[in-house]
Amino acid sequence: MTSFEQANLLDLDTYSNEDISAVLETAEAMLPILQRPIARVPTLRGKTVAMVFSEPSTRTRVSFELAAKSLGADVITIVNSGSSIEKGESITDTVKTVQSLGANMLVIRHQASGVPYLAAKTLDIPIINAGDGSHAHPSQSLLDMFTINSELGEIKGKRVVIVGDILHSRVARSNIWGLTKMGATVVLSGPSQLLPSHLQEITDFQDRVSTDSNLDRAIEGADVIMALRIQKERMTSMCMPDIREYAQLYSINKNRLGLANPNAILMHPGPINRGVEVSDEVAYGEQSKIQSQVINGVATRMSIIYLLSGNSREVPIGQS
Ligand code: CP
């Protein structure tokens, strides 16, 4: 029986191709559970998954909550408003308190890069990074890879164009790690002030990453176009693009989508700035997999919670 060796999910730099494949295969096995009239198994009955979200979230928080509940776990959620974070309690004290209250796993989002690593050093329960500053968002990357696999059959050999605010994007960083490990090539595109060249160097597979600020050229022959949100909340005036000009040069519209492979898919981690990163016409068009990403997020996060709880891939889910 193969056990899952990873203790935490902090980013995908420490995950091997086999670890990522284990998460994606287990997520596939979770989908039928979600299609049952009562989408719940008793696998994690008696366990508590704590969520500490000190930055706004809709998709990640709700899908982790649904994922934990579908596996039979109890869930406690702490957001800034109404918690002692508002009174100035440090994040270290908050997560220690959560563990003392009986949490068996912690899912954490924080505006400061590195906070999930601090939690992993402080606590002795599995830690899942649900997004830390501009650093990493590994569960988003795993659900993105699950979606690419489902829609295109495999990740290996695919040309993935990630376009937009690369500078501030934790989604881009985790996807550079994950996609290149799984054999895809990644082209980063966006206005030059939002397109740092050093990101090519974060992966062990540097020959699989390139940058091109000319989106029309980058998109030719793409299998996947992943548009990113312009993160106004993280911009300084130095790097904030003119939104109208940005939309003209980088918004994914029908004409631009036509430059990609005919069966190319459009993705976006959400939330979308409508009309800025993608036109309404393509956001809800046939090639858009944005809603599938949301649904796949629950199965993928069930897989992550299940594997980090010490479950083996081979144990029939729901019978462990
Ligand atoms: N994609 C993503 O992280 O969305 P939320 O901020 O809504 O969780």
Q: Identify the pLDDT of residue 242.
A: 84
State the average pLDDT over residues 22-51. Answer: 96
CB 130 within 8 A of CB 62: no
Ligand 1 contact via 69 beta carbon (within 6 Å): no
Q: Identify the pLDDT of residue 312.
A: 65
Ligand 1 contact via 59 beta carbon (within 6 Å): yes
Q: Identify the pLDDT of residue 319.
A: 54
> Which residues are CB-contacts of 18 (< 8 A; sequence separation ≥ 6)?
none
Q: How many beta carbons lie within 10 A of that of residue 118, not counting itself?
A: 17
State the average pLDDT over residues 256-262. Answer: 97
- C-alpha 107/C-alpha 269 separation (Å) is 18
Q: Report CA(56)–ligand 1 centroid distance (Å).
A: 8
Atom of ligand 1 nearest to the CA of 58: 7
> Which residues are CB-contacts of 206 (< 8 A; sequence separation ≥ 6)?
200
Closest protein CA for atom 1 of ligand 1: 269
State the average pLDDT over residues 72-93. Answer: 94
- Beta-bridged to residue 85, according to DSSP, are none
Directed axis angle between helix 59-70 and helix 290-308, to 10°? Answer: 50
Ligand 1 contact via 133 beta carbon (within 6 Å): no
Phi and psi angles of residue 152, each rounded to the nearest 5 degrees, phi first: -115, 0
With the most atoms of ligand 1 within 8 angstroms of its CB, the residue from 52, 53, 58 to mutate is 58
- Predicted confidence (pLDDT) per residue in 169-215, tens digit: 999 999 999 999 999 999 999 999 899 878 777 888 889 999 999 99
Atom of ligand 1 nearest to the CA of 56: 6
With the most atoms of ligand 1 within 8 angstroms of its CB, the residue from 53, 57, 226 to mutate is 57
What Cα–Cα distance (Å) separates residue 180 from each residue in 18, 79, 145, 267? 13, 34, 11, 17
Closest protein CA for atom 4 of ligand 1: 59
Q: Which CATH class is domain 138-293?
A: alpha beta
Beta strands in the chain (DSSP E): 48-53, 74-79, 105-110, 127-132, 159-163, 185-189, 209-211, 224-227, 265-267
- Beta-bridged to residue 75, according to DSSP, are 49
> Which residues are CB-contacts of 193 (< 8 A; sequence separation ≥ 6)?
167, 238, 239, 241
- Rounded to 10 degrees, the C-alpha dihedral 311/313/317/320 comes to -40
What is the chain's alpha carbon radius of gyration, rounded to the nearest angstrom?
Answer: 19
Q: Report CA(43)–ligand 1 centroid distance (Å).
A: 26
State the average pLDDT over residues 75-93. Answer: 93
**Of 92 and 1, the one with more pLDDT:** 92
State the average pLDDT over residues 17-25. Answer: 96
- Among the listed residues 218, 81, 239, the one whose alpha carbon sits nearest the alpha carbon of residue 160: 218
State the average pLDDT over residues 112-138. Answer: 97
Phi and psi angles of residue 29, each rounded to the nearest 5 degrees, phi first: -70, -20
What Cα–Cα distance (Å) separates residue 66 from each residue in 5, 41, 77? 25, 12, 12
**3 state DSSP class of 174:** helix
- Give me 65's structure tokens: 């909550």
Q: Identify the pLDDT of residue 73.
A: 97
Ligand 1 contact via 231 beta carbon (within 6 Å): no
Q: How many beta carbons lie within 10 A of that of residue 319, not counting itself?
A: 8
The structural domains of the chain, with segments of one domain joined by +, span 17-136+294-308, 138-293
What Cα–Cα distance (Å) separates residue 285 from each residue in 31, 100, 142, 160, 279? 24, 48, 23, 19, 10
Q: Identify the pLDDT of residue 199.
A: 78
Atom of ligand 1 nearest to the CA of 131: 3
- Predicted confidence (pLDDT) per residue in 59-73, tens digit: 999 999 999 999 999
**Average pLDDT over the chain, rounded to an integer:** 93
Does the 17-136+294-308 domain belong in CATH 3.40.640.10?
no
- Give me 119's structure tokens: 């939690």
Ligand 1 contact via 233 beta carbon (within 6 Å): no
**3 state DSSP class of 293:** helix
Ligand 1 contact via 139 beta carbon (within 6 Å): no
Q: Identify the pLDDT of residue 196.
A: 86
Ligand 1 contact via 111 beta carbon (within 6 Å): no
- Let me know if the fold of 17-136+294-308 is the same as that of 138-293: yes
Closest protein CA for atom 3 of ligand 1: 60
Give residue 2's pLDDT band: very low, low, confident or very high (50, 70, 90).
low
Atom of ligand 1 nearest to the CA of 270: 1
Ligand 1 contact via 269 beta carbon (within 6 Å): yes
CB 1 within 8 A of CB 314: yes
Region for residue 310 given its phi and psi (left: phi exceeds 0; alpha: psi -120 to 50; beta: otherwise) = left
